[in-house]
Amino acid sequence: LYNMVRIIAGTVVGVIEGRFEPRQIEEMLLLRERKRAGMTAPPHGLYLYKVSY
């Protein structure tokens, strides 16, 4: 779980920038291979905005 949120954030940014297709995220999660995911986002400026159930 180390850096998990930062890795997910970096991967989502990769989708926004066009480096990945949204459908590839599910594949990345299922294969559990870190090298397939996007870059680890830097820790500066990341904060929890909202939690809803």
Give the pLDDT score at 10: 86
Q: Where are the domains of the chain?
A: 4-36
51 vs 47 pLDDT, higher one: 51
Reduced to 3 states (helix: H, G, I; strand: E, B; else coil), residue 23 is helix
The answer to whether 20 touches 53, Cβ cutoff 8 Å, is no
Distance, in Å, from the CA atom of 39 to the CA atom of 9, rounded to the nearest integer, reads 9
Give the pLDDT score at 35: 80
Tell me the H-state helices in the chain. Answer: 4-16, 22-31
Give the pLDDT score at 52: 92
In tens, the pLDDT along 2-48 reads 888 888 888 888 899 898 888 888 888 888 877 878 888 888 877 77
